Amino acid sequence: MRPAGDPIGELVELLSRLPSIGERTATRLAFHILKREPEYAKALGQALTDIHERVIRCEDCGNYGAEAKCKICSDIRRDPKIICVVAQVPDLVAIERSGTFRGRYHVLHGLLAPLDGVGPDRLPLDALEKRCESDVEEIVVATPLSVEGEATALYIKQVFAESKVQVSRIASGVPHGGELEFTDQVTLGRAFAGRKQI
Ligand SMILES: [Zn+2]
């Protein structure tokens, strides 16, 4: 609940809802914003106001960007023959940071979770199949090594069982059940290099 007539308290409350931001950090941030020039607070507010309108999902891969096709899909230097499937955009960002992958991506924005009612129809798997009708040779499934991540990988394997597309899975080394986005670059690089066909 936002207390009435307490602008600092309101800001602290909103900031503390962000991941890894406790009340103490939120308080420090709020006073920092207050101390800086008002233009900074305005620019920050504007960036927050616009984020949902300015950021769209790439029509090919689901990555976030400012245009219909994301930077990776528009980059002709990227190898179109290999697609890396990830659960979330932060995983893509982590893989990009590791610099080990030069293909393209397919972002699921979720994972199969039958117990929570998330079936294959809720994920953009038709779009993945469609993309693979062209010159794609390999799909690397880089979903987390969790129950849902493994179930999703196996499902993708089944979808392409009869196809010429080879499906591989990133190697272990990524902490079990751990999120890719928190995995260090060297480990991620090794996980890619050691990927195995499934
Ligand atoms: Zn894209």
Cα 160 to ligand 1 centroid, rounded to whole Å: 21
CA 16 to centroid of ligand 1, rounded, Å: 32
How far is the centre of ligand 1, averaged over its atoms, from the C-alpha of 67 (Å)? 9
What does the angle CA 89 – CA 134 – CA 59 come to, to the nearest 5 degrees? 35
Q: How far is the CA of 184 from the centre of ligand 1 (A)?
A: 24
Q: What is the pLDDT of residue 114?
A: 81
Mean pLDDT in residue range 134-151? 91
pLDDT at 1 over 70: no
For the sheet with 138-141, list strands across it.
Answer: 104-107, 82-86, 138-141, 166-169, 196-197
Beta bridge partners of 139: 83, 167
Cα 57 to ligand 1 centroid, rounded to whole Å: 8
Sequence-distant (6+) residues with CB within 8 A of 89 are 62, 63, 64, 107, 109
Mean of pLDDT values over 143-153: 90
CA distances from 179 to 89, 145, 168, 176, 188 (A): 12, 8, 19, 9, 11
pTM of the model: 0.81
In terms of C-beta distances under 8 Å and separation of at least 24 residues, what long-range contacts does 57-64 make, across chains too?
Answer: 57/107, 57/109, 60/104, 60/131, 61/104, 61/105, 61/106, 61/107, 62/89, 62/105, 62/106, 62/107, 62/108, 62/109, 62/124, 62/127, 63/89, 63/92, 63/105, 63/107, 64/89
Q: How many angstroms does the Cα of residue 39 sit away from the middle of ligand 1?
A: 33
Distance from residue 61's CA to the centre of ligand 1 (Å) = 4
Burial of 23: CB neighbours in 10 Å, binned 0-12, 13-18, 19+: exposed
The Å distance, Cα 106 to ligand 1 centre, comes to 8
**CA–centroid distance, residue 74 to ligand 1 (Å):** 7
Compute, in angstroms, the gap from residue 43 CA to the centroid of ligand 1.
28
CA 70 – CA 135 distance, rounded (Å): 19
If you measure from the C-alpha of residue 173 to the centroid of ligand 1, how many angstroms do you get, rounded to a whole number? 27
Cα of 23 vs centre of ligand 1, distance in Å, is 37
More confident residue, 56 or 194: 56
How far apart CA 59 and CA 90 sit, in angstroms, is 18
Query: Which pLDDT belongs to residue 195?
Result: 84
Residue 142 banded pLDDT, cuts 50, 70, 90: very high
Q: Report all structural domains of the chain as residue ranges with CATH numbers, in order of start.
A: 7-54 (1.10.8.420), 76-197 (3.40.1360.10)
Task: For residues 9-18, give the mean pLDDT.
Answer: 96
- How many other β-carbons are positioned within 10 Å of the β-carbon of residue 85? 24
Kindly report, residue by residue over 75-121, the tens digit of the pLDDT. Answer: 999 999 999 999 999 999 999 988 889 999 999 999 999 888 889 99
